[in-house]
Amino acid sequence: MKLQELEIFITAPPAPGWGGRYWIFTKLTTDNGLVGYGEVYASSVSPQVMVHVIQDVFERHLYGENPENVELMFRRAYSSGFTQRPDLSVMGAFSGLEIACWDILGKARQRPVWALLGGKIHQRVRAYTYLYPLPHHDMDKFWVSPEQAAESALAAVELGYTAIKFDPAGPYTVHGGHQPAMSDISLTVAFCKAIREAVGDKADLLVGTHGQFTTSGAIRLGQALEPHNPLWFEEPIPPDNPLEFTRVANAVRIPIATGERLSTKMEFATLLRTGGAAILQPALGRVGGIWEAKKLAGIAEVFNAEIAPHLYAGPVEWAANIQLAASIPNLLMAETIETPFHRALINNAIKIEEGYIVPPDAPGLGIEFNEELARAHLYTGKELHLQMQEAPCDYRGGNRFAGGAPPVTD
């Protein structure tokens, strides 16, 4: 069995675009006709450019190879360009191809991927959701309204969710890290207070920041949130200086979570060695794939760190997350995005029941990818999956981060 063909889909979810402007899916076919699907989570360059990167990585390192040889293919991609260091774009490309290899291997053996990773240790996976506007909410006002956020949180709890994430402390700017505006601190505290009052002890609060603050600024914000007992303080500073995470972790009595912008176990290693994070959030379409994430989970177990796979992408990465999550003992929870489009792309193959995800028993990733639907929603724009604003923090007029919902500008 050898890898023979590659096809790539650049798919745009319908507005408002929960999960980003586009998703990059890979389809691999072997010489004996088996097909596997993967997803690339890379957004440093345009998706049109990423297509060429993915094709190059496939042709150089995977074409003609047995999909069983995941370790060998990883070493080629990680090392062959005289790099041997994490690379967001190359590892993103490899990750999407590697996930597709596992899908093929599961189908070849008629077993789900979790069975090939050591078996199922979790019969169900605790899910968490981001807070999104309810149908009657004002889309613009929602992101700065503690009251509407509390309504959305209560609705999520009524669906069975036991953890909810929100990130009102803007802005999402290229000028990070910066000191938070006092209004950003006050707004985030107000969100925590309103949501805690709405859900009581029925759900954990997960506070995100998207790495926007200096070390001292993150400490100011984190200490202000402590009375509301969040389960985590996510990516409080930019991801490019892992040693500074330790200073935040030592000063704030909330577990530090991070990892969506990190690639391979190497970038997580410093955080684990120095106690900079207690909860790791690998994005499987970027971290190096399923096998690299499995290694990371094993290393994290030694440090009493937990894994919470990140998802701000499409449903194929979600499917890979669930296969990993079912197989690791130090799982905390997994992010999910429930939209009709997410579900339709995998023909409703993964179920959420009372706030928990049921790992599928079908072979491979356990999904049926809807190629027709993916092709019917091709992305034709020029903007990136997520884009940071150029305007700096507004210390007078206030800031906002609109939940990752990309404005329609294409």
- What CATH number does residue 170 fall under? 3.20.20.120
Domain carrying residue 352: 115-365
Looking at the structure of the chain, the number of domains it has is 1
| pTM reported for the whole predicted model | 0.96
Q: Please indicate, yes or no, if residue 212 is contained in any of the structural domains.
A: yes
What is the phi/psi pair of residue 157, to 5°? Answer: -65, -40
CA dihedral sign of residues 262, 266, 268, 274 = negative
| Complete DSSP assignment for 97-161 | HHHHHHHHHHHHHTSBHHHHTT--S-SSEEEEEE----TTS-HHHHTT-HHHHHHHHHHHHHTT-
Q: Please indicate, yes or no, if residue 244 is contained in any of the structural domains.
A: yes
Q: Please indicate, yes or no, if residue 110 is contained in any of the structural domains.
A: no
- Would you say residue 406 has pLDDT above 80? no
Helix and strand counts by DSSP (H, E) for the chain: 14, 13
111: how many CB neighbours lie within 10 A of its CB?
15
Q: Are 101 and 72 in contact (CB under 8 A)?
A: no
- Model confidence over 121-156: pLDDT tens digits? 999 999 999 999 999 999 889 999 999 999 999 999
- Model confidence over 364-394: pLDDT tens digits? 999 999 999 999 999 999 899 988 889 999 9
272 — alpha (psi -120 to 50), left (phi > 0) or beta?
A: alpha
Q: Are 401 and 168 in contact (CB under 8 A)?
A: yes
Q: Are 369 and 350 in contact (CB under 8 A)?
A: no
Q: Please indicate, yes or no, if residue 307 is contained in any of the structural domains.
A: yes
Q: Are 307 and 330 in contact (CB under 8 A)?
A: yes
Torsion, Cα 72 76 79 84, to 10 degrees, reads -50
Which residue in the block uniquely carries the two structure tokens 């449903």? 315
Q: Please indicate, yes or no, if residue 35 is contained in any of the structural domains.
A: no
**Interhelix angle 182-199/146-158, nearest 10 degrees:** 30
Residue 70 is given by DSSP the state H
- Would you say residue 407 has pLDDT above 70? no
Q: Please indicate, yes or no, if residue 103 is contained in any of the structural domains.
A: no
Confidence of residue 171 (pLDDT cuts 50, 70, 90): confident
Which residue in the block uniquely carries the two structure tokens 């409703």? 348
CA pair distance 279, 2, nearest whole angstrom? 37
Residue 410: the pLDDT is 44
Query: Kind and range of the H or E element at 340?
Result: helix 340-345
Residue 145: the pLDDT is 96
Q: Please indicate, yes or no, if residue 393 is contained in any of the structural domains.
A: no
Amino acid at residue number 239: P
Residue 404: the pLDDT is 57
Q: Please indicate, yes or no, if residue 143 is contained in any of the structural domains.
A: yes
| Complete DSSP assignment for 361-386 | -SSBTS----HHHHHHTB----S-SS
